């Protein structure tokens, strides 16, 4: 069988040949890639220790495996099917075992440990330090039975994380709610069109339908007059992964928390949170929690004020019921309309997807000199995917893939990933960067204000990959501390709200006229409306995450009871739910990525709010000197230096929390 993974990719820029790749290619590709990598590792472990024969050789090893993993991982997240999911389940423990065998290879670690820093430049010293730390944190210094037990734990966690994600997707795929015209009273036309498109795509004998995708749920919760409909959809949405069916994640959560705690103990840490945060800017769970606690008190106080205002609106309308979680968005929209003469239905016609993509590109051009030209000769994995050639002064920088629409084969949320990362170890390797979102289709596709910010957020991540300018793959792009990685994405959101951006790109989809200055002014005045709610739903998730991973020896964990106790401890308002409840908390339970690290969005927001103030102090959102520092020390530097130092080089000082509190309207 011809296998495209065993042949040169003669596509433009060496992009994956998705027109040739089939599910049946992955099994043989993984088999060969793993065998090649094992052979390479064996040779490195047997060679004399030096920077060239050990660290550089490690950086060059596993290239076929890297290629297969990048394509397979993206497909499993963005366009999966039962065949791919079966391969994913089979490969999870095999891959975990493969990496365990590398990180627990005593001869290999002895070579790494023996490499001297003498004569090395700063980037080489940094990558050597990272390799030593990676191996130590993976258990390289453990002995005997502890090494074997750690390997078993990591394999089990990989299997459980894969199953967790597949369970959430299964619940999302299985729920679809058919609707009729009368169900959509109050819902704006653009959201109706999206619901009609959903019914058509699902092949339903109904005019409209909604799913538990956030982009499908939120317009109903925000605008639908039928309270029982809002309740039904809301409960289905928050129960993903927690239903009484074969996809229930409760037992998986308990087992993952227990195994993570045991892993930390084996490595000498009092809890998994201590282990995970040791290699971050925060350093300790106490530091992370201190930040969250500083924001929690004013956020909760603001949320209580908001709750009381919504309850008053219910009573003003003659409603004889207490505000519930499925009512919040609906009545918040009414109050916002009354206070600021502003609602999302008025805004959405100005936020066309294509225009917001153009706005994100234009911002990158003005800040960093990038240009984007759409290509139609690059193979893609789904017809919705678009590809752009990214250049700087006419020179190729990389490819950018935009995958913007929700579908049943894609997991929920929004994320950045890559098919290839930038490096220049032997020669310049250009990055192939992907943004995945879950927007509703339309003709044209229109976004809410928050969805437009999501687009800018993910494109900030994409630029972190595209603008990377480092030598070593280990330090490339987003290979940075977890509580630093959100800085490039979150700071980029600010440019979506810059008046110049709105005036040029927020054009009415029918008239082509720019968003009125009066509407921009309303947006400015209303920007902190409902921020208590938004902050509380996020902080609750971050605090529950830290609580799970602060446990030193959890046994027989009842995740529902634990979550409730954690929320009771902080006095969570009953009218607000966590942004990500435990059974579908993909960030922390599909892998170790954000486990004990969901706080990092808030940590990074301290950096991004403080960082954008540098442009405000320059009285120019596109100030060239500030943009140059942002490029040199944040976007292009990858993991080449300590992250606190990188921020100081950009900002000239350490960050302050004041801008975050002010930006969220929570300052005293």
Which residues are known catalytic residues? 458
User: What are the residues facing 434 on neighbouring strands?
Assistant: 401, 417
Does an H or E element contain 399, and which? strand 395-405
Count of beta carbons in the 10 Å neighbourhood of residue 196: 17
**Contact assessment for residue 544 and residue 262, using Cβ atoms and an 8 Å cutoff:** no
**Contact assessment for residue 129 and residue 474, using Cβ atoms and an 8 Å cutoff:** no
Does an H or E element contain 386, and which? strand 386-392
- Three-state SS at 213: coil
Q: What is the CA radius of gyration of the chain?
A: 25
d(CA 330, CA 328): 6
Instruction: Kindly give the pairing relationship between strand 432-439 and strand 395-405.
Output: parallel
Does an H or E element contain 370, and which? strand 370-375
Q: Is 9 exposed, middle or buried (0-12, 13-18, 19+ CB in 10 A)?
A: middle
Beta strands per DSSP E along 408-567: 415-420, 432-439
Q: Would the CA dihedral through 124, 428, 4, 90 be positive or negative?
A: positive
**Contact assessment for residue 587 and residue 544, using Cβ atoms and an 8 Å cutoff:** no
- Three-state SS at 284: coil
What angle is formed at CA 403 by the lines to CA 401 and CA 409, rounded to 5 degrees? 130
d(CA 482, CA 544): 18
Output phi, psi for 232, to 5 deg.
Answer: -60, -45
DSSP states of 67-127 as a string? Answer: HHHHHHHHHHHHS--HHHHHHHHHHHHHHHHHHHHHHT-HHHHHHHHH---TT--HHHHHH
d(CA 667, CA 660): 8
Eight-state DSSP code of residue 393: T
d(CA 588, CA 580): 10
**Contact assessment for residue 487 and residue 611, using Cβ atoms and an 8 Å cutoff:** yes
Sequence-ordered list of residues with C-beta below 8 angstroms from that of 302, at least 6 positions apart, any chain: 531, 532, 535, 665, 666
Count of beta carbons in the 10 Å neighbourhood of residue 394: 6
- Three-state SS at 277: helix
> Which tokens go with 298?
């004013």
User: What are the residues facing 373 on neighbouring strands?
Assistant: 389
């Amino acid at each position: 069988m011809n296998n495209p993974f065993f042949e040169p990719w003669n596509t433009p820029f060496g992009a994956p040949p998705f027109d040739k790749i089939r599910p049946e290619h992955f099994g043989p590709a993984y088999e060969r890639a793993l065998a090649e990598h094992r052979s390479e590792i064996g040779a490195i472990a047997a060679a004399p220790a030096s920077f060239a024969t050990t660290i550089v050789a490690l950086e060059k090893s596993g290239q076929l495996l890297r290629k297969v993993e990048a394509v397979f991982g993206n497909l499993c997240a963005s366009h999966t099917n039962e065949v791919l999911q079966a391969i994913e389940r089979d490969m999870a423990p095999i891959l975990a075992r493969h990496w365990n065998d590398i990180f627990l290879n005593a001869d290999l670690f002895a070579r790494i440990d023996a490499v001297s820093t003498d004569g090395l430049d700063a980037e080489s010293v940094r990558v050597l330090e990272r390799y030593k730390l990676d191996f130590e944190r993976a258990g390289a210094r453990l002995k005997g039975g502890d090494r074997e037990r750690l390997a078993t734990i990591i394999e089990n966690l990989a299997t459980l994380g894969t199953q967790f994600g597949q369970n959430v997707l299964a619940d999302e795929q299985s729920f679809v709610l058919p609707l009729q015209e009368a169900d959509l009273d109050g819902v704006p036309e653009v959201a109706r069109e999206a619901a009609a498109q959903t019914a058509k795509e699902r092949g339903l004998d109904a005019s409209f339908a909604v799913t538990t995708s956030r982009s499908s749920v939120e317009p109903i919760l925000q605008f639908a007059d039928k309270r029982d409909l809002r309740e039904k959809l809301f409960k289905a949405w928050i129960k993903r992964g927690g239903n009484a069916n074969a996809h229930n994640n409760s037992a998986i959560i308990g087992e993952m928390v227990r195994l993570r705690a045991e892993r930390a103990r084996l490595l000498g840490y009092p809890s998994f949170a201590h282990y995970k945060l040791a290699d971050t800017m925060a350093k300790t769970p106490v530091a992370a929690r201190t930040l969250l606690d500083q924001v929690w008190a004013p956020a909760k106080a603001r949320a209580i004020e908001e709750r009381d205002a919504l309850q008053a609106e219910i009573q003003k309308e003659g409603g004889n019921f207490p505000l519930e979680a499925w009512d919040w968005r609906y009545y918040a929209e009414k109050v916002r309309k009354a206070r600021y003469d502003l609602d999302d239905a008025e805004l959405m016609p100005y936020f066309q997807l294509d225009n917001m993509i153009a706005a994100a590109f234009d911002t990158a051009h003005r800040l960093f000199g990038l240009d984007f030209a759409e290509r139609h000769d690059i193979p893609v994995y789904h017809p919705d995917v678009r590809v752009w050639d990214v250049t700087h002064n006419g020179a190729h920088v990389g490819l950018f893939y935009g995958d913007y629409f929700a579908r049943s084969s894609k997991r929920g949320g929004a994320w950045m990933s890559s098919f290839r990362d930038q490096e220049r170890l032997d020669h310049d390797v250009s990055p192939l960067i992907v943004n995945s979102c879950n927007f509703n289709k339309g003709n044209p596709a229109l976004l809410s204000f928050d969805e437009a910010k999501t687009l800018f957020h993910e494109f900030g991540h994409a630029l972190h990959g595209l603008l990377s300018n480092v030598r070593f793959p280990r330090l490339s792009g987003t290979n940075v501390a977890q509580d630093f990685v959100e800085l490039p994405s979150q700071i980029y959101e600010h440019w979506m709200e810059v008046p110049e951006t709105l005036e040029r790109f927020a054009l009415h989809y029918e008239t082509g006229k720019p968003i009125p200055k009066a509407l921009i002014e309303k947006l400015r005045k209303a920007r902190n409306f409902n921020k208590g709610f938004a902050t509380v739903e996020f902080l609750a998730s971050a605090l529950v995450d830290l609580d799970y991973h602060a446990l030193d020896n959890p046994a027989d964990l009842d995740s529902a009871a634990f979550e409730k106790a954690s929320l009771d401890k902080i006095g969570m308002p009953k009218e607000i739910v966590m942004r990500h409840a435990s059974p579908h908390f993909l960030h922390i339970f599909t892998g170790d990525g954000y486990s004990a690290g969901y706080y990092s969005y808030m940590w990074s927001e301290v950096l991004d709010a403080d960082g954008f103030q540098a442009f405000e102090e320059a009285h120019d959102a596109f100030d060239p000197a500030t943009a140059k520092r942002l490029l040199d020390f944040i976007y292009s530097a990858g993991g080449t230096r300590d992250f606190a130092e990188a921020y100081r080089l950009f900002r000239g000082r350490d960050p302050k929390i004041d801008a975050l509190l002010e930006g969220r309207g929570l300052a005293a």
